[in-house]
Amino acid sequence: MPYTRKKPSRFYFRFEGKLYNNPTSNNLIGMDEFPKFYIEGKKLLEALYWSKDPKSINRGYWRDHTLGFYVKNIHDMTDDQVAMEFWDSMSKAPYGYTDVKSYNEYVGEVFNQMYQGSLQNQWRELNSEGKIIAETRDELAHAVLDMHHTVSFSKLLNRDEYYVPGFTNQGLPKI
């Protein structure tokens, strides 16, 4: 069998997002496709690896005091691969969905009254500061935000270079 192992991946994304106000929504699950307030990611600004483990300093991480965890530059992926990871995370709750299963997760997270209350308070604060961009024919009223998001998952890696079929075949029985 090929050599397999789990590789944990932890990404920290700083991105430009838009907080939308959907005036036609009543936050009714099953009736409204989108809630009254929701956020969509628009542009990746920064991507780093992150860790909570203080021993990560030995692996090249440094402590970011504003974030409260350890971060490290992504050196083993191309810009396109990092962008793909970012857009993949933006297609999951609370930022988006891709299919029925992910839409159910999106609804459960975004239509939550506590989450809607926090976005509504943020909207009111931005409105009082004059940072709301008015509704146009093509886009709802929104505010541009500097957002932070962390993602953690594990990938299963297969390494076939250690697999030699001759050593794994069962030998002949002894006579």
For residues 70 and 56, the answer to whether their CB atoms sit within 8 Å is yes
CA distance 83 to 128: 34
Residue 168, pLDDT above cutoff 60: no
State the pTM of this model. 0.80
In the block, residue with structure tokens 């989108």: 34
pLDDT digits (tens, 9 = 90+) for 50-106: 999 999 999 999 999 999 999 999 999 999 999 999 999 999 999 999 999 999 999
> What is the b/e burial string over 92-107, where b = at least 16 CB atoms within 10 angstroms of the residue's CB?
eebbbbeeeeeeeebb
Residue 2, pLDDT above cutoff 70: no
Count of H-run helices and E-run strands, the chain = 4, 5
pLDDT digits (tens, 9 = 90+) for 17-35: 999 999 999 999 989 989 9
| Residue 159 CB burial class (10 angstroms; 0-12, 13-18, ≥19) | exposed
C-alpha distance across the termini of the chain, in Å:
28
pLDDT digits (tens, 9 = 90+) for 114-148: 999 999 999 999 999 999 999 998 999 999 999 99
**Residue 138, phi then psi, degrees to nearest 5:** -95, -20
